[in-house]
Structure 1
Amino acid sequence: MSDMWGQGQGPRYGPGPGPGGYGWGGGWTPPPPPPQPGVIPLAPLGVDRILGGAFKTMRRHAKPLFGTVLLVYLVLGVLAVAAFFLGFLAVSDDVRQLVHDGSHFSWDRVRPVLVAFGVVWAVVMVLFMVGMAFIQSACTVVLREAVLGRPARFGAVWRHAWSRTPSVLGVGLLMGLIAAVPAGLVAAYFVAIFASLLGHSAAPIGLLFLLMLVVVPLALWIYVLFAFAPAAATLEEAGPVLALRRSARLVKGAWWRTFGIILLAGVIVFGISLAVRVPLQFAMPTPTPSQFGTSPDPAEVLRTMMPTLGLVMALSMIANLVVQLVSAVFGPLVTSLLYIDQRIRREGLAHTLELAARNGS
């Protein structure tokens, strides 16, 4: 697979001699459309093709995509509960002493509790980062098969995605380190504002606001510049540093286009979230004086509303899960399609993909 997705494979896609031209009768014959073995045509993609390709991939390969995300969420949930349970068992005596009526505050009791649950929080965050890296890699693997018009088999997706998860995780960690400087400046901004408010002095707030105007665009620029790194780490089997370099090289000259399409994908996910959640908010039952009188009994209100309230809450949980699944899958698919589009435009990847689709490799 690395041969097919390696750098600079195949002729560059662009205008040139081809089957289009003037026919025998003098009429102009349009060139044939580009081949489309899968969800996108193997040619430079417009916004409609990129977004449409993401939705087609979600529809045609729903089982490996959403099944993977659901399974990862389930595993992360079980591991998080187990970590918190083990953390509680380790300091259960101290917790009981702290919550016992009449107990006195003591740092000797509080310190082990804070340390234990701090360690648990760190472990859960690491597990979450690994899970998100695996999901990003799995979405890219499924998209590869969708572009080539091949079925995405669950086992094969898991094997390849897991083998590339360390590299994708390394990309995320490096991006976090790169973004640590602007993030630290943002944190310092809020600390300085809080300190100035406590000191009844608002003099530095204006200067700090100007600093924010520099820091926020810088962080956004870094995020877009390295947006293709997970796809490069998965498809090209590149290490974290090389994947970041590949992303920066492909985004160069197309930053605004990349930013605009990623932003549009985020707006679409936000719109789907509103479309799913807002009707449920209106469906949430509320007690009225005409139903229960001027002084309703809380227990009676709860008993009366429980059937409808339980149904709405269950639907709300399902809706939140659907929105989370869509947001976890749609974003990586769009950025991976943008990565493929840039490689088609700059490196002639369309020819290589066409040959791979024909040969079934």
Structure 2
Amino acid sequence: MPPKPGVIPLGPLRLGDIFNGAFATVGRHAKQLFGVGAAVYGGALAVVAATIAIAYAATADHLDRIFALSGDEDPRSEDWVPLLVAFCAIVLVCLVAAAISTAMMYAAVPVVLQEAVLGRPTTFSAVWQRAWTRVPAVIGTVFLTWVIAMVPILLAWAGVVALVIGVVSMDGGDGVSVTLVVIGILGALATAPLAVWLWVKFSLAPSAVVFENQGPVAALRRSSLLVRGDWWRIFGISLLAGAVAGTASYLIQLPFSFIGMFSGALGSANLSDDPNPTSVIVAMSGYALAMVIGQLVSQLIVATFPPLVTGLLYVDRRIRTEDLGPVLAEAAAVPPQYTG
């Protein structure tokens, strides 16, 4: 029997070992995992909410004038242009906040897992400091993975769009355009397996970024090497982990959805026959709050469990291919090093 100083035995892992290890890590280090998750997603939500509030305050008059237009009136450019700029600013802030918060969780989960595998305690401060230093590399790794995996599908669609534009410019007819769109859809479906294959091939890269302090390109190479010869097993276990997390997320959101619908019904009942945007926002605030809380709680599960499983797959592949077990067993006897 291999030694088991932490959440997994330090030998080749079976499916049960991986899932038991992931659940055990959540149980032993819930404060660190969910604490970091609540901080990053709560912070991101606060930034987005502040941006929306600022944008609304800056464009409220323009919005009121557009809502006051009759059906045969067109909005003036001095009204819709500020709204478009505000919308683009909100979208940009949302994208940046989502990228940073997701990368922080991708980095924090392996940090916690390192200590959980060795059976050592850790602190919120230690996890935060270590994860934050790896966020830029994780963002680069995830971005490169997405670009590489999506290139086949994007190329298929780009070719079809170019053909459609060419046919339309030559008055080729609607029938030919529809045929080309159908070909594009089939081409995208045909390239989807390649995208999935590439995604799984590089799925262990975020773990390599944290465990080995690798840069984005080196982490992609490392993941490709570790996945080689075990693609189907990694794909199946990752898919199962995603299904478990998705089911748990759905079940968590259900009660919040019912609460939100009830609150929204009460708020809408108090609206006048001709409500303004501010009164609508106030009336639906209870619904929005319930949905946001439900989404935040479920997001903590989705952002924690699949990366834990992926991290354990990374450890398993290194145990199987590089005989990492004895090294981990030796490291487990080393007292933890707290930073902060």
The TM-score, its normalising length taken from structure 2, stands at 0.78
In the alignment, the residues of structure 1 paired with residue 141 and residue 257 of structure 2 have an alpha-carbon distance, to the nearest angstrom, of: 39
| 1:148 aligns to 2:109 (yes or no) | no
TM-fit CA distance, 1:319 = 5.6
- Paired amino acid for 2:107: S
- The aligned residue for residue 266 of structure 1 is 242
Say which SS state the counterpart of residue 42 (structure 1) adopts: coil
TM-fit CA distance, 1:84 = 2.2
Q: How many residue pairs end up in the alignment?
A: 307
Structure having the larger proportion of residues in helix: 2
- The aligned residue for residue 276 of structure 2 is none
In the alignment, the residues of structure 2 paired with residue 243 and residue 92 of structure 1 have an alpha-carbon distance, to the nearest angstrom, of: 47
In the alignment, the residues of structure 2 paired with residue 343 and residue 207 of structure 1 have an alpha-carbon distance, to the nearest angstrom, of: 42
- The aligned residue for residue 96 of structure 2 is 126
- The aligned residue for residue 229 of structure 1 is 205
| 1:359 aligns to 2:338 (yes or no) | no
Sort the Cα spacing of 1:282 and 1:319 in 2 relative to 1 into closer, same or farther, 3 A. closer
* 1:340 aligns with one of 303, 309, 315: 315
| 1:328 aligns to 2:296 (yes or no) | no
Unaligned runs of 5+ in 1: 1-32, 287-297, 301-310
- The aligned residue for residue 39 of structure 1 is 7
- Paired amino acid for 2:66: L
In the alignment, the residues of structure 2 paired with residue 318 and residue 86 of structure 1 have an alpha-carbon distance, to the nearest angstrom, of: 22
- Paired amino acid for 1:68: V
Say which SS state the counterpart of residue 237 (structure 1) adopts: coil
In the alignment, the residues of structure 2 paired with residue 234 and residue 335 of structure 1 have an alpha-carbon distance, to the nearest angstrom, of: 13
Question: What are the superposed Cα offsets for residues 138-163 of structure 1, whole Å, 9 maximum, x if unpaired?
Answer: 11101111001011211000000000
Sort the Cα spacing of 1:240 and 1:49 in 2 relative to 1 into closer, same or farther, 3 A. same
Sort the Cα spacing of 1:322 and 1:280 in 2 relative to 1 into closer, same or farther, 3 A. closer
Question: What are the superposed Cα offsets for residues 232-291 of structure 1, whole Å, 9 maximum, x if unpaired?
Answer: 1111111111111111111111111110100111122233345556688899999xxxxx
What are the within-5 Å matches in structure 2 for residues 237-256 of structure 1? 237-256=213-232
In the alignment, the residues of structure 2 paired with residue 348 and residue 326 of structure 1 have an alpha-carbon distance, to the nearest angstrom, of: 31
Sort the Cα spacing of 1:278 and 1:123 in 2 relative to 1 into closer, same or farther, 3 A. closer
Between structure 1 and structure 2, the one with the greater Rg is 1
What are the within-5 Å matches in structure 2 for residues 160-309 of structure 1? 160-185=130-155, 199=174, 202-204=178-180, 206-276=182-252
- Paired amino acid for 1:246: R
- The aligned residue for residue 31 of structure 2 is 63
In the alignment, the residues of structure 1 paired with residue 153 and residue 89 of structure 2 have an alpha-carbon distance, to the nearest angstrom, of: 23
Unaligned runs of 5+ in 2: 263-267, 271-285
Structure with greater contact order relative to length (CA < 8 Å, sep ≥ 6): 1
Say which SS state the counterpart of residue 179 (structure 2) adopts: coil
Question: CA RMSD, aligned part only?
Answer: 3.4
The TM-score, its normalising length taken from structure 1, stands at 0.74
In the alignment, the residues of structure 2 paired with residue 321 and residue 177 of structure 1 have an alpha-carbon distance, to the nearest angstrom, of: 27
- Paired amino acid for 1:61: H
Identity across matched positions, percent = 41
In the alignment, the residues of structure 2 paired with residue 61 and residue 321 of structure 1 have an alpha-carbon distance, to the nearest angstrom, of: 19
8 Å Cα contact 1:189/1:212 also seen in 2: no
In the alignment, the residues of structure 2 paired with residue 313 and residue 97 of structure 1 have an alpha-carbon distance, to the nearest angstrom, of: 25
8 Å Cα contact 1:44/1:341 also seen in 2: yes
In the alignment, the residues of structure 1 paired with residue 252 and residue 55 of structure 2 have an alpha-carbon distance, to the nearest angstrom, of: 37
Say which SS state the counterpart of residue 138 (structure 2) adopts: helix
Sort the Cα spacing of 1:97 and 1:187 in 2 relative to 1 into closer, same or farther, 3 A. farther
In the alignment, the residues of structure 2 paired with residue 318 and residue 94 of structure 1 have an alpha-carbon distance, to the nearest angstrom, of: 30
Say which SS state the counterpart of residue 105 (structure 1) adopts: coil
8 Å Cα contact 1:44/1:345 also seen in 2: yes
- Paired amino acid for 2:333: R
- Paired amino acid for 1:214: A
Say which SS state the counterpart of residue 6 (structure 2) adopts: coil
Say which SS state the counterpart of residue 359 (structure 1) adopts: coil
- Paired amino acid for 1:220: V
- The aligned residue for residue 28 of structure 1 is none
8 Å Cα contact 1:228/1:339 also seen in 2: yes
Say which SS state the counterpart of residue 319 (structure 2) adopts: helix
- Paired amino acid for 1:254: D
- Paired amino acid for 2:183: L
